[in-house]
Structure 1
Amino acid sequence: MTKYAKTRFLSILEAGSYNAFFIGTQGFIFTSIALYFNASPLFISIMTSFPIIAQMFQIFSSRINQFIGSKKKSLVINAFISRTLFVLLPIFIFFDVRSEYIMLIIILLFSFFGTFVGNTWTVLIRSVVPFEQRGKYFGLRNIFASITGIIMLYLYSMFLEFPNFKTGLLLVTSFMAIFSVLSAFLLVKHEFPEESEKISSVNLNIFTPFKDRNFKNFLLFMFVWSFAIEFVRPYFAYYEVAILNINYQFLGNMGIITSVISIFLYLFYGIVADRFGSKNVLSLGILLSTFSPMMYFLMNESNYRSILLLNAIFAAFAWSAINLAIFNLLLEISKEPSENYIAANSFVAGIAAIFGSLSGGFLANHLENTEINFMGDPYHGIQLIFIIGFVLRIISVILLTEVEAMEKPIRYKGIFSPEAALFKRREINFPFDFFRRNGKKVKKNELPLSADLEKEEKSQVVPEVPEEGKSQVVPNNNKE
């Protein structure tokens, strides 16, 4: 694998440049651009969900690769088509051309061609990153992406505070265009093993994974999780910008706090995932992510500063775990040919995103100008969406307990327990094993074949993992 060290290094650089551009399509930055183009809440909801919805078309990735001739060529061509579209944004802003349909078409095409990039890249990167190194490697990759995200988030938020808002948007979209082209160019320099470049003559069959009981449980979890995220995601930033009118620089600073904390957590979670399993890390991340919608429900004009600060910290702990572990877990439980499993996952997530974004968008349009009084306290109608999002996230983490994957218990010394003198160590499966509906624990011989379990030494004592919650991969403070 040392032969492909250059590719692994270039992939880290590509993640940084891509994130520098992609962070402009997330959170309050994207919402500000969309509002400039006169987009309604429903349009914003649909556009932010396009990248997930478009993943449904990954079932055609094999045919696209066959038509183009190789997986790498397909990767590069689709990357250039999808990412260079953002060169048009500063041009439209410069000539003061405003239409929500312009944004809609650009995001639609970016998402459609970008989904083939994601599918092909996922398949190819497996061939250059060994299984036992994936947690650490993708942790380092996300750290670099976070650093570029910190820098660009600060610049973007500063640009949006310019007295001339149009000039600020012009600078934001210009930088986005530059980094989008650079990220596509870096993919040209990637090298992959010849065997991974070979295109299978067998057509993609997304129905095969549905015969796998364990993967069906994972797909059920993914459906609820994707629905929960897309239902509420656009309205964190919308509530901040359009309703509370929070200062862009303050929002940028909160995003920087999230990204700085995430830099350390990506490496930490990478090590924890390799040692104790990606499922444990993912469960912990989702549980912590439930705090965000509740905090936004309680947030108003008088307390948003303290709540957003707390949310920035929780978001770092939650989403650094989720971004790292959900991808690793998918690779872990997928069987060969992995394309079938990856495509099935994307298809289910896409279906959920359609229902989530449309239902959330229609509800938001009806609640946009609504005020609700509860026990004398006023709440904006949009805040009801946050309560629904909270409940959906709780349901998703319960469903995750049904997925069988590598899970190694964390062992710690019961220093503060009265039973510490009787037992040298105790073990728990975090976050909460009682969420498991059938009470069945996964045995070693029941694990997926790809799960590389290390042999545990009885004398091993592992330090307690401290408690801790876009996105692109991505440090995204509004991916709550």
Structure 2
Amino acid sequence: MISFKTRPQHRRKTSMQRRNLRVASLEGIPAVMFMTLLGGQFLTGYLLYLGASSGEIGFVLAITTFVNIVQIFAAYLIQRLRSRKWTLVLFVAVHRVIWGSTGLVPFIVPKPYWVPAFIVLYTVAFMFNTLGGILWNSLISDMVHPKVRGRYFGIRNTILNALGTLVMYGGGVILDHEPGGKGFLLLYIIVWVCIAANIAVFFFYPDIPFERSSEKRFIPMLKKPLRDASFLKATLFLAGFLFLQNLVVPLYSYVMLEMLHINYQTLSLLNVLQTVSMMASFYVWGNLNVRHSNRRLLFWTLPIIALSCLCWGLLSVLPMLPVLIAAHMIFGIGVGGFNQLAFNFMIGDTPKAERPMYMAMYAAITGVAAFFGPLIGGNLYELIGHWPEWTRIYGVQIVVGLSMLLLTVSLGRKILRNS
């Protein structure tokens, strides 16, 4: 009799876990579609269509990371929530709707105010996104069992990135065939369909009870990650590296569109190659993660990212397209490992009860650093506008790449590799 009661319960539990994983995977499909069409090269292209300067583009690319500081307060507030799920649904819906509304700017705002209106809507949208982000990270870490976490996210990331490459290429084709406002209107129509589907799937997320912090007050809760010397050193180092990376990487699309005069379809193909390289690297980094720690592998992703920046210097002696292909593929390998291992570091190397505040602290510190990267980078391109063209096309990348290597071999070896 005992066996008959136990086995169905086990099957029901397993079935519920699989259902949750399927829901999380399904939710990612419309999410990656509209995020691809609203971000990256399409975001830069849309801002150029609205009349934005390189400094304004740098600010927009930076603001999404700066608002991560709000996660610190969100990590404290979620300890008092009765339901993570429904709060997540609310924040997600508001973020998606406001971000999608940026497509209405040319229709409802006078032309001189297109860029300011976009910036306001974009900033408000990502304020809600950063609040929803910490709730999603907290909820998904409870939905996915630690034993299958690495494999599940590897498979999920591979599938979603494969879809993202197709959407990216398709979006590039649309903009090349229908340049200007009509092309972006078509993209936003697809975006709104995906937004509606994405919000609907979130209603099927489970509302899992979560382990609350032993601290009830904000300041003691805030101090816990700050007193974790190992965590804080690693976070501050990664923040410094991301600052250097974001001086140039978010502005790649700007350089290629404005200075190298590459069309959207070629730009899409380059980003597709980058994403394919990222997908292939997930499997390799995942297998290495079985034998090596998150921090040690994080260290080895850094020189690869730096090398991708240095590759731009080859534009001085080699044809443009092969150099850009190599730079994008190497960056995909490095950043794929970095993103996967940084996420594993956050949800696997931190105490479960304090994980929301640890995640928020990591996001806030790295977010502030990543904010100033594209902001300074965008203004730097304006300041050196009268310099020789090569300094703007690949000179800045060489200087930043060398700086990233120097930071890695000096502080990175001590902080990450020897941890």
Same fold? TM cut 0.5:
yes
Q: Do structure 1's residue 16 and structure 2's residue 33 form an aligned pair? A: no
Deviation at 1:365, TM superposition (A): 1.7
When residues 245 and 50 of structure 1 are mapped into structure 2, their CA distance, relative to the original with a 3 A threshold, is same
Determine the structure 1 residue equivalent to 2:222. 206
Letter in 1 for 2:399: I
* 1:49-128 matched pairs, under 5 angstroms: 49-62=62-75, 64-65=77-78, 69-93=82-106, 98=111, 99-128=114-143
- Separation of aligned partners in 2, 1:284 and 1:186: 37
Determine the structure 1 residue equivalent to 2:343. 327
- Separation of aligned partners in 1, 2:110 and 2:195: 22
Structure 1: which 5+ residue stretches go unaligned?
373-377, 405-435, 443-480
Q: Do structure 1's residue 221 and structure 2's residue 232 form an aligned pair? A: no
When residues 200 and 19 of structure 1 are mapped into structure 2, their CA distance, relative to the original with a 3 A threshold, is farther
Letter in 2 for 1:57: V
Determine the structure 1 residue equivalent to 2:151. 136
Determine the structure 1 residue equivalent to 2:5. none
Q: Do structure 1's residue 356 and structure 2's residue 373 form an aligned pair? A: yes
Taking structure 2 as the reference length, what is the TM-score of the superposition? 0.87
When residues 250 and 109 of structure 1 are mapped into structure 2, their CA distance, relative to the original with a 3 A threshold, is same
Count residues with an aligned counterpart. Answer: 401
* 1:27-66 matched pairs, under 5 angstroms: 27-62=40-75, 64-65=77-78
Question: Which one has more relative contact order, counting CA pairs under 8 Å at least 6 apart?
Answer: 2
Instruction: Indicate conservation of the 8 Å contact 1:15/1:144, yes or no.
Output: no
Q: Do structure 1's residue 145 and structure 2's residue 157 form an aligned pair? A: no
- CA deviations 1:416-456 (Å, max 9, x no partner) are xxxxxxxxxxxxxxxxxxxx6xxxx55xxxxxxxxxxxxxx
Deviation at 1:41, TM superposition (A): 1.0
Determine the structure 2 residue equivalent to 1:379. 390
- Separation of aligned partners in 2, 1:393 and 1:133: 33
* 1:460-479 matched pairs, under 5 angstroms: none
When residues 359 and 253 of structure 1 are mapped into structure 2, their CA distance, relative to the original with a 3 A threshold, is closer
Residue 325 of structure 2: which of 299, 309, 319 is its match? Answer: 309
Deviation at 1:131, TM superposition (A): 2.1
Instruction: Indicate conservation of the 8 Å contact 2:79/2:212, yes or no.
Output: no
- Separation of aligned partners in 2, 1:300 and 1:170: 38
Deviation at 1:15, TM superposition (A): 2.3
- CA deviations 1:14-47 (Å, max 9, x no partner) are 2232121112343322110011111111111111
When residues 276 and 63 of structure 1 are mapped into structure 2, their CA distance, relative to the original with a 3 A threshold, is closer
Q: Provide the identity percentage.
A: 20
Q: Do structure 1's residue 343 and structure 2's residue 352 form an aligned pair? A: no
Letter in 1 for 2:25: I
- Separation of aligned partners in 2, 1:389 and 1:182: 40
| Secondary structure, aligned partner of 1:206 | helix
Taking structure 1 as the reference length, what is the TM-score of the superposition? 0.77
Determine the structure 2 residue equivalent to 1:450. none
Residue 282 of structure 2: which of 260, 266, 281 is its match? Answer: 266
- Separation of aligned partners in 2, 1:199 and 1:90: 44
Letter in 2 for 1:326: A
Deviation at 1:63, TM superposition (A): 5.2
Structure 2: which 5+ residue stretches go unaligned?
1-12
Deviation at 1:198, TM superposition (A): 9.8
Instruction: Indicate conservation of the 8 Å contact 1:236/1:296, yes or no.
Output: no
| Secondary structure, aligned partner of 1:43 | helix
Deviation at 1:294, TM superposition (A): 1.6
* 1:148-167 matched pairs, under 5 angstroms: 148-167=163-182
Letter in 2 for 1:89: T
Residue 193 of structure 1: which of 174, 191, 208 is its match? Answer: 208
Letter in 2 for 1:28: Q
Determine the structure 2 residue equivalent to 1:290. 306
Say which structure is richer in helix: 2
Q: Do structure 1's residue 175 and structure 2's residue 215 form an aligned pair? A: no
